[in-house]
Structure 1
Amino acid sequence: MSSQKKIKKIEDIWIVTREFDGLAGAGGVKDVCRQLAESLVKRANVAVMLPMYGFISPAARGFKPAESLQVDMHYVGVERREDVRIWAKEKKEGKRTLTIYLVDADRFREKRAVYTYTAEDEEEDPHHQRGSGHYDYFAMNVLLQKAALNFMLFKGKRPDIVHCHDGHAALLPVMARERDGFRQFFRKTGFVVTIHNAGLGYHQEVDDLPYAKAITGLPSRIIGKNLLGGRFDPFLASAPYVVMNTVSENYARELRESDDDVMTGWLGHILANRGVMLQGVTNGINPDDFNPQNAERLGIAAPFSPVEKKLGGKAVCRRDIVAMLEKKDLGKVLVSGSLQPLYGQPLFTFIGRLTEQKGVDNLVGALETLLPLDDGFQVLVLGTGVKELEDDLRNLAENKKYAGRVCVLFGYDELLANKVYAAGDFFLIPSRYEPCGLTDYIAQLFGNLPVAHHVGGLVKVQDDKTGFVYHEHTAAALMAAMQRAMKTFRERPGKIADMQQDSVKVIQNVYTWDKIVLRYMQLYQDALALCRN
């Protein structure tokens, strides 16, 4: 739909999510939801609804009790309800209001992390293994969505748009359209579902179909015709009722048109066969959030400016983190290996989950070959993940042949991540698939040039201009890209400075949320048109 055919002024937008930066997060969804909300509130009133996990103290965060209600959460043959309390916090933005709502319930309060069990959980119950998903994940999702619908209904003011993030919230539009208690109230509300990750294991699907029917209250026909691999799939179920998008144009194309869709269980192809147009909107970023000139706020040792080519502070940041690593005292983050003060050598960095999806198997393979061939670079990794890959990286870091060249930090801390971004020359993103990628933006803003697999949303990295890209998902291709980066670093330092500058300028000109939000406003208009039809 063209911008000239707008249906109405959008005044009230609700966002339903499991993550929101500053309150609860496990990945890039938290950043997108916060930054999108902060951009949308310049155009409409915005409400965000997420669970109140056990690690959130609402009163200490400035939230106040707003309402109490009961939510139907039936099991097969058992009618039951769960008590819910809503906490609210308002922030005025000119004439508009951004309101954050927390859904307080026993099911959420007992969770120490957003999606998975922690080491403390495992100590209390060996069945709750660290890193494994919550056993009641589907019930958590349903409770959040039903609480959101019931609370909107209670408030009595129909939202123009409800924006649902990932499979965790994708059933909300289905319940709004199909359940008698909601259908009339939400008949003029438009719904958008954003798929942040369509990979298998991220759909929030469930294989107990009678349970799915009982707890959602959806008709059997909805459950039965929306199965993927025999499991009830929220994305498939929501598709007829929503405008659906992924977080980059290229990832949407890959799902619709390429064999890479096999990694989703062919979700994209099934949607296409059903006539669903899966759209793509590349995520944005707020550059000021990661401006290294704001050194104190970001927790880095000195300010610097890639866009102005004032990089003296970046060298200070590298010396600072090398000194930190020497002490090996980073709290809950465990240090393996070390970095010598070899400041003339390029420093490759990696921040993320240590999984095959993030390409860490290829990273290990590339380093195993490249470290013996070239003794003029260093590597710094921050993250946690699959035990086997953690062990592989630990073996490299503790190999005496590479002493002082490889350091792996097991864990995560936001300020520590900023220090890694600020210290690095090159940022490795060898992902097998990547719906959008935010780490490439952040690295570029810190003058840390991406070395990225040319896939999904990472195609926004421009080879030899804003980073170094490679096309084959192999360790050899990654290694070759690293060698190109090092050759440029050693032989053309002025070129590196130009690329660092260009990277920031491209973000400022193309990828700020103030620009990207216009795409979402158009999706919202499309959603209103869909609900009228």
Structure 2
Amino acid sequence: MNVLFAAAEMAPFAKAGGLADVVGSLPKALRSMGVDARVVMPLHGFIERGRHNIAYAFHFQFGRRRGLADVYVHQAQRDGVPVYFLESYPFFGQGWQLYTDTEWDRQRFIAFSEFTLALAWQLAQRQGWKLDALHVHDWHTALGSFLVAHSRFDPFWQPVGTVLTIHNMGYQGDWSGGALFDAGIPARTQPELVFHGKSDNLLAIAIAYSDMITTVSPRYAEEIQYPRFGEGLEALVRWRAYGGDLMGILNGLDMERNDPATDPALPYPFSAQDLAPRPLNKTALQAQLGLPQRADVPLIGAVTRLTAQKGFDLAIPALHRLLADEDVQVIVLGSGEGYLEDGLRTLEYTYGSRMRAVIGYDAVLSQRIYAASDLFLMPSRYEPCGTSQMIAMRYGALPVVRETGGLADTVQNYDNGDAETGTGFVFLWETPEAVLGTLRWALETYRSRPQAFRRMQLRAMQTDFSWHKSAAEYVRVYERALKRHRSG
């Protein structure tokens, strides 16, 4: 089976969130199961071509409403996965931002979806690689599902199935009618789509026209069927779910790349079989960031985007109280909304000997935070899947999370006893008091029940988050998509 992933980002070439991690690791797992999975993404201007051995492959022209577009195809290999990069002025190939303003991004990604289908045809003609399934991700490439459906009477496209994966319902590419008209995209006339007034919403278009739909965790597949998380598309999602076309598949983790025993970012490698070196990572990180070097003090870490979705408007007041009352250290790495960055800076100014706020992103520092922290804070209001809690567990940091989406699917709550069950600490209410209370509970467990804490730590580190099971589920999704598509 030949599957083409179409996505706006892919690790390590370009990354803004979990989408890049999925596209960077799932195709590798699929190829180990005999699926010829390949990826197409834009050639963003900031991508380092030399560093990633990206080479020019070929060029073609594509007719659009406003004239011919020259599309230059570049190619690289990532873990044995062929990756195609599309460059076309003025859409892609320049600029230093992954995403720009909304209006321009609508136009760019509509064009990219058109170019993706053209690339698939070019690969068939030039290399004999015939597509079986197109796998689109989020609103950026969602139009591809409609374009395949619209071309269903073309012998080339008639047998091709489509799969949409929703990574985050909060971003939809809505109000795209003008850009779609300008690009000459035909009318979207699917009755449910028209009834709900969503024919100009790119994500909704893919929900209506894709053969199968997946989300990145089973819990999130349930949540988006209701208004709290459906973001206005819950009725469309329920319609597809009732037809058996929606599946929640938990994201996996690249266990080889995220291995504390071999991670080159760590000054002191360790494993579940040999935890003795782990505390040395804490004191090394404390020294690096200018905190008192104390192996005995509990360390709370976070690596996050600073947005309301991630719940840090709840966490900052809780951390104020915690730092005022407890002997604890906190390290937060992230960037985002200004008022949250300022709130963390205020915490550091107030509690400088026990708090560090590193505004920005540093890949090496993030791995060191996972390896050094005793607790890892993720108070998300909603979290489609999340990979940070899985990496934290893999590295021995017990997550403190809100019960939502993929966090609920991956973190098992502590039983408040001898740790017969549990890989972290879970709360439900979206309040600072809930965050504070759960952090106090986790710290009390760390101090007064060290054996229970260690049992959870070892259980968390040994949890299998590999892609093997999830990749097998995706194979079944592709098979169902092809069956559904070909049966009409």
TM-score by length of 1: 0.84
Q: What is the CA-CA distance between 1:223 and the residue it aligns to?
A: 11
Picking from 68, 71, 75, the partner of 2:62 is: 71
- 1:286-365 equivalences under 5 Å are 286-295=254-263, 297=264, 299-305=265-271, 307-308=272-273, 310-326=274-290, 339-365=291-317
Q: Which residue of 2 aligns with 1:195?
A: 166
- What do the CA deviations read for 1:355-397 (whole angstroms, capped 9, x no partner)? 11000000012112222222x1111000001001111111111
Q: Which residue of 1 aligns with 2:46?
A: 55
Q: Which residue of 1 aligns with 2:417?
A: none
Q: Which residue of 1 aligns with 2:390?
A: 441
Q: Which residue of 1 aligns with 2:377?
A: 428
> In structure 2, how many angstroms separate the alpha carbons of the residues matched to 1:435 and 1:474?
20
Q: Which residue of 2 aligns with 1:381?
A: 332
> In structure 2, how many angstroms separate the alpha carbons of the residues matched to 1:88 and 1:82?
19
Q: Which residue of 2 aligns with 1:271?
A: 237
Q: Which residue of 2 aligns with 1:214?
A: 182
1:403 and 2:352 correspond: yes
Change (3 A) 1:59 1:348: closer
Q: Is the 8 A contact 1:138 1:206 kept in 2?
A: no
Q: Which letter maps to 2:313?
A: D
Q: What is the CA-CA distance between 1:91 and the residue it aligns to?
A: 6.7
Change (3 A) 1:72 1:474: farther
- What do the CA deviations read for 1:219-265 (whole angstroms, capped 9, x no partner)? 26369945877771122212233200110000111112x4423xx42
- What do the CA deviations read for 1:414-464 (whole angstroms, capped 9, x no partner)? 111111111111000000000001001000111011000011111120011
Q: Which residue of 2 aligns with 1:164?
A: 136
> In structure 2, how many angstroms separate the alpha carbons of the residues matched to 1:453 and 1:91?
34
> In structure 2, how many angstroms separate the alpha carbons of the residues matched to 1:220 and 1:291?
46
Partner SS, residue 527 of structure 1 = helix
- 1:229-244 equivalences under 5 Å are 232-238=200-206, 239-244=208-213
> In structure 2, how many angstroms separate the alpha carbons of the residues matched to 1:216 and 1:195?
26
> In structure 1, how many angstroms separate the alpha carbons of the residues matched to 2:195 and 2:346?
43
Q: Which residue of 2 aligns with 1:462?
A: 412
Change (3 A) 1:166 1:472: same
Partner SS, residue 67 of structure 1 = strand
- 1:244-259 equivalences under 5 Å are 244-256=213-225, 258-259=226-227
Q: Is the 8 A contact 1:367 1:479 kept in 2?
A: yes
> Which stretches of structure 1, 4 residues or longer, exceed 6 Å deviation after superposition?
227-231
**Bigger shift: residues 135-144 or 422-431:** 135-144
Q: Which runs of 5+ in 2 are unaligned?
A: 415-421
Q: Which residue of 2 aligns with 1:6?
A: none
1:173 and 2:173 correspond: no
1:31 and 2:21 correspond: yes
1:102 and 2:85 correspond: yes
Change (3 A) 1:405 1:227: farther
Partner SS, residue 395 of structure 1 = helix
Q: Which residue of 2 aligns with 1:46?
A: 37
Q: Which runs of 5+ in 1 are unaligned?
A: 1-9, 117-132, 327-338
> In structure 1, how many angstroms separate the alpha carbons of the residues matched to 2:316 and 2:197?
32
Q: Which residue of 1 aligns with 2:477?
A: 523
> In structure 1, how many angstroms separate the alpha carbons of the residues matched to 2:184 and 2:275?
55
Q: Which residue of 2 aligns with 1:86?
A: 73
- 1:130-141 equivalences under 5 Å are 133=101, 135-141=103-109
Q: Which letter maps to 1:26?
A: A
1:21 and 2:5 correspond: no
Change (3 A) 1:341 1:203: same
**Bigger shift: residues 435-444 or 106-115:** 106-115
**Bigger shift: residues 79-88 or 512-521:** 79-88
Alignment size in residue pairs:
470
Partner SS, residue 186 of structure 2 = coil
Q: Which residue of 2 aligns with 1:122?
A: none
- What do the CA deviations read for 1:465-489 (whole angstroms, capped 9, x no partner)? 1100011111111111101110110
**Bigger shift: residues 365-374 or 42-51:** 365-374
**Bigger shift: residues 450-459 or 273-282:** 273-282
> In structure 1, how many angstroms separate the alpha carbons of the residues matched to 2:199 and 2:193?
10
> In structure 2, how many angstroms separate the alpha carbons of the residues matched to 1:289 and 1:487?
33
Give the alignment's Cα RMSD to 1 decimal.
2.1
Q: Which residue of 2 aligns with 1:184?
A: 155
Q: Which letter maps to 2:49?
A: P
Q: What is the CA-CA distance between 1:134 and the residue it aligns to?
A: 5.3
Q: Which residue of 2 aligns with 1:130?
A: none
Change (3 A) 1:168 1:211: closer
Q: Which residue of 1 aligns with 2:419?
A: none
Partner SS, residue 61 of structure 1 = coil
Partner SS, residue 109 of structure 1 = coil
Partner SS, residue 287 of structure 1 = coil
> In structure 2, how many angstroms separate the alpha carbons of the residues matched to 1:35 and 1:392?
35
Q: Is the 8 A contact 2:164 2:210 kept in 1?
A: no
Change (3 A) 1:226 1:64: farther
> In structure 2, how many angstroms separate the alpha carbons of the residues matched to 1:148 and 1:68?
13
Percent of aligned pairs with the same amino acid: 29
Change (3 A) 1:488 1:236: same
> In structure 2, how many angstroms separate the alpha carbons of the residues matched to 1:244 and 1:514?
20
